[in-house]
Structure 1
Amino acid sequence: MRITKTLFNNSLRSAFFGVLFFVHLAEADAQQKAQTAKRPNIVIIISDDHAYQAISAYGSKLMQTPNIDRIAKGGVTFNKAYVTNSICGPSRAVILTGKYSNKNGFKDNENSRFNGDQDSFIKQLKASGYLTAWIGKWHLESQPQGFDYWEILPGQGSYYNPDFLTMDGGKKKVEGYVSNIVEDETESWLDKRDKSKPFCLVIGHKATHRTWLPDTCDMGRFDKTTFPLPHDFYDNYANRIAAQQQEMSIAKDMQMGYDLKMLQPGEEEGTINRMNAAQRQKFDAYYKPIQADLKARHLSGNALAEWKYQRYMRDYLSTATSLDRNIGRTLDYLDKNHLTENTIVIYMSDQGFYLGEHGWFDKRWMYEESFRTPMVMRYPGVIKPETKSEDFVMNVDIAPTMLDAAKVAIPKDMQGESMLPLFNNKKAKGRDEMYYHYYENGEHAVSPQFGVRTKRYKLIRFYKRVNNWELYDLQNDKGEMNNLYGKKGYEKITAELKNELNKQIDKYQDDDAKLVLTQK
């Protein structure tokens, strides 16, 4: 009997502790799920070459962008958001890694290939329990790593009936217009995801990249608008040698066929070749009468340059219309699925873009229209609606900000800074200076350059193609027309800025820039 009683007691004790163990596991699991539930979902929407000058949240009178404005109204408009390197692929590499180009290895679009083995904020989020996905334009010349799901456009992708590369190593062609398709694929993934986990989704839009080909429903949307010519459209680039040598002029370098769809017999542009019969019929019905009218007018000189500008603006803004509409679809999806209140939404371009300022299209420069990028962010409960930020922030800050929001430790080698203290810490102080380095030495004949921008001044060092300095007083010369470098009276500020430039080079460990400064 004693043996039986002892066995019975031991069994009871084992069962009791077993129950306690499972209760403890259940409580731990519940706590983990509760903690996970508190962590925000993240949606980052990255467009390509979208100018802040074309966004109504930034005061644009060129067009209305009601859906980008929805993000801004629900959160913050960053009026001083910038990039570290104003070109497509490098910007995406900076966003992923939180490191400057010299550290993440992707310096230009000509010779670089992203090393996916390196760390990224996506990998950190995935390791902490987030679902991760990238859908749309990738443009990093390698397969994405750290994502539970990806489906990407090869290279620049196509506006019509684009191909997508898939995780199984395949390729699929999807009928339709690329901005619509990227959103369709995004919503499909959101529908199928594991809804018990927080997610980080990057939506990569092709729009508004060259050749600015609108959806058929948007062709002609701005034809009744005559856009005012930028005051510096006929800039002569006095005392700015690098600007004199560029090949990104609307008047001289914008191509009639490739860019403006004024196709000669037998001439085709790649995306147009991909159109199906119905799409091509709409394309021809719109562009052929414009071409016939142009031919009858026999324009030349300034009249032709200004015609090209109007044609460029109409196509560019029509392409941006579809982009904004599909951003609205993303926001609507979050609303309908009760995700809005616990989801961070960021909209940004990979850099700024020229809409005729200085007579240009494209980007690359450390001048404001290129260096500065649109960025709006909504984070319910953390960022007050309709906030306007004048703090310097950069695309290198996205990675640490997302990790900070997700309560994940920020790796020490990330060079960006979390933006969240700007909203939850009254004593927080943003940057006083920003560092920039553009490396590419090919397309559009823009010289490699690096420099520093303070609240008032900008110092730029050009090298390789052009070997000189430029200095601007942004308070008195917002258009950066008057290069003050070497002028009497600016010796002190030049010395101070050179000292600051060296500090920034050391801070970001930019050995390439350091080497340039040691050469005569």
Structure 2
Amino acid sequence: MLSIALRRTALLFCCFALLDASTALAADRPNVILFIADDVSWNDYGCYGNRAARTPNIDELAAGGIRFDRAYLTASSCSPSRSSIITGRYPHNNGKAAELHQPISLHLPWFPEILKQSGYYTALSGKHHMKSTAPGKGESPRPEAFDHVDAGRVKGDSSGSANWLSVTRDRPKDQPFFFWFASYDAHRGWDADKQWKESEYGPMHRAEDVIVPPFLSDDPQTRQDLASYYNEVTRFDYRIGVVVDELRRQGVLDETLIYVLADNGRPFPRAKTRLHDSGMKTGLVAHWPKGIQWQGASEQLVSVIDLAPTVLSVAGCQIPETMQGVSMLPLFENASASVREYAFSEHNWHDYEAFGRGVRHGDHLLIINRRPELAWQGPADSVRSDSHQQLRALRESGSLNDAQADVFLSPRPEVELYDVTSDPHQLNNLTTHPEHAETRQRLVAVLRRWMDETGDSVPDKLSPDTFDRETGKPLAEDTSDSHGVMTPGEDRSADHVNAPGPR
């Protein structure tokens, strides 16, 4: 029989061992922050080659982490994109949330909810834009995903990022944390111009300095529109820097996984709601000194549905079977690793009737369009912009170039194929070129397989236009009763399909 002294020694040893194990577990669970911009294209950051937009803080994170050069969204539309990120599922697999302002099916878990249940302190500050369907008879609501929620707005600052510093500073210090920091910048309205603080953000951007893409008109009104947009990108960047400085002050920056991304492309013609790179490609920066083993630019293909399983993996949480993404952890460890061959995207109703699907593989983007008779002119707020109206004026004078004319093109091709490396703006459709016939056939087959395996479908009747396509003004006719009659995949119960399709 052990003596009392030996028993006490053994007990103390066990306690210290448990304490060490607990400490090691906590050390292995990094903090996580997602910085999500609203309506910002991938090439509007300095680290992605934009010489005019000032983003020094994002650029610094990219220099010390990974800049993903082939990162893609699943939807170039606000709430469908965000809902896809938070569930790790394609939009049509989220139920009604495939369309703008619609809820995620109740039974689908959100990854912050899993983090919260596992001991993380979770907070959302800024734009929310996500909800679940209301519980039916005998159903319970989803568990709360966030310990703290605020809109990120204060008097004189409607950016959505006004409270990021206080949330970071006032967090519980005895828990790992997850922050969903979602800015309203750079959504149209350009409130940054009216709320500008030169002492914090520097001088406003000048119209003469902006970069005008070939599908926009190069005129004073469009240039000022872009300059105001750049101002919002810079305010978003500034607030990221404030949080990073606070993390550094607290001594936790090295053990915090930071992602910077956007929900869709800039709110200009031929960007937001487009399946082309100008709408669907996102700047994606990952920074985590203790977890990322190399720094630089990655050419590996990733999808934003991969963020949820990645975050759950680094937090030591089980990935639910509902998530269709794949963990990006191998990419953190090895620059030459890969996690997927294909990235899929979709465009459903956002102010206007639409059904488009896209697949990216290697250097190629293939798009199919099941409403080719309709133009892809962009969302209503973009249509109301000076930039769009300047294009209308050029059209009326017969002065549009081919890239600008694509904004109004109707009917559109049913199939589009592009080499995104040699044709970064996707202006040269290769689908009828004989030398690209094999690529077209192969990617059409892959896209059809993905649609079939994930339960996608093309309803006979889709949600109709609710805004005028020329002016962006609400239609006089009330179409609310017909909105969402049948969302894509609903007839096949796609929200209960967990198969990811080809990866």
- Fold similarity call, TM over 0.5: yes
Aligned in 2, Cα 1:515/1:375: closer, same or farther, shift over 3 Å? closer
Structure 2 counterpart of 1:416, from 322, 325, 345: 325
1:312 is paired with a residue whose SS is helix
Partner of residue 130, structure 2: 140
Contact 2:104 2:130 in 1 (8 A): yes
The question of 1:451 aligning with 2:441 is answered no
- Verify the 8 A CA contact 2:112 2:146 in the aligned structure 1: no
1:155-211 deviations in whole A, cap 9, x for unaligned?
Answer: xx9xxxx4xxxxxxxxxxx312133x734x333333333212111111111101112
**How far apart in 2 are the matches of 1:339 and 1:438?**
39
Aligned to 1:165: none
Range with greater deviation from structure 2 (470-479 or 206-215): 470-479
The higher radius of gyration belongs to: 1
Give me the identity figure in percent: 28
* 2:161 equivalent to 1:182: yes
Cα distance per residue 1:400-455 (max 9 Å; x no partner): 11112122222233111111102325773232221111111x52x47320121211
Between the aligned partners of 1:194 and 1:22, the Cα distance in structure 2 is 29
1:222 and 2:205 matched:
yes
Q: Tell me, what secondary structure is at the counterpart of 1:46?
A: strand
Is 1:121 the counterpart of 2:111 in the alignment?
Answer: yes
Q: Distance in 2 between matches of 1:457 and 1:447?
A: 22
Map 1:401-480 → 2, pairs under 5 A: 401-425=310-334, 428-440=337-349, 442-443=350-351, 445=352, 447-464=354-371, 466=373, 468-480=414-426
Question: Number of residues paired by the alignment?
Answer: 411
- Show the counterpart of 2:243: 330
User: Within 5 A, what are the aligned runs for 1:374-413?
Assistant: 374-384=283-293, 386-413=295-322
Give the 3 Å change call, closer, same or farther, for CA 73–226 of structure 1 in structure 2. Answer: closer
CA distance 1:472–1:354, change in 2 (3 Å): farther
How far apart, CA to CA, are the structure 2 residues paired with 1:120 and 1:515? 20
Q: Provide the rounded CA distance (Å) in 2 between the counterparts of 1:89 and 1:198.
A: 27
Query: Contact between 2:79 and 2:100, CA under 8 Å: does it hold in 1?
Result: no
Shift in Å, 1:354: 5.8
Tell me which residue corresponds to 1:52: 42
**Could you state the TM-score of these two structures normalised by the residue count of structure 2?**
0.73
Aligned-partner SS, 2:219: helix
Checking the alignment, whether the CA contact within 8 Å between 2:73 and 2:304 is kept in structure 1 is yes
Residue 176 (structure 2) aligns with: 198
Q: Is the 8 A contact 1:88 1:109 kept in 2?
A: no
Instruction: Tell me how far 1:465 sits from its aligned partner.
Output: 6.0
The gaps in structure 1 that reach 5 residues or longer are 1-8, 163-173, 235-304
Identify the match of residue 152 of structure 1 among 143, 150, 153: 150
CA distance in 2, matches of 1:211, 1:44: 24
Shift in alpha-carbon separation, 1:105–1:29, aligned structure 2, 3 A: farther
* Structure of greater relative contact order (alpha carbons < 8 Å, 6+ residues apart): 1
CA 1:336–1:84: 2 relative to 1, 3 Å: same
Worse-superposed segment, 124-133 or 77-86: 124-133
Q: Name the aligned partner's letter for residue 471 of structure 1.
A: L
Cα offsets for 1:330-358 (capped at 9, x unmatched):
11000111011111111111122266xxx
The normalised TM-score by structure 1 is: 0.71
Deviation at 1:95, TM superposition (A): 1.3
Q: Residues 137 and 144 (structure 1 numbering): CA distance in 2 closer, same or farther, change over 3 Å?
A: farther
Whether contact under 8 Å (2:309, 2:326) holds in the other structure is: yes
CA contact (8 A) 2:298 2:335 kept: no
Q: Which has the higher helix share?
A: 1
Aligned to 2:186: 208
Counterpart-to-counterpart distance in 1, 2:450 and 2:429: 22
Counterparts of 1:77-116 in structure 2 under 5 Å?
A: 77-110=67-100, 112-115=102-105
- 3-state SS in 2 of match to 1:178: coil
Larger mean CA deviation between 373-382 and 99-108 belongs to 99-108
In 1, Cα distance between equivalents of 2:125 and 2:101: 24
Which stretch of the first structure deviates more once superposed, 407-416 or 72-81?
A: 407-416
AA at the equivalent of 1:86: S
CA contact (8 A) 2:312 2:319 kept: yes
Q: List per-residue Cα deviations over 1:246-289 (Å, max 9, x = no partner).
A: xxxxxxxxxxxxxxxxxxxxxxxxxxxxxxxxxxxxxxxxxxxx
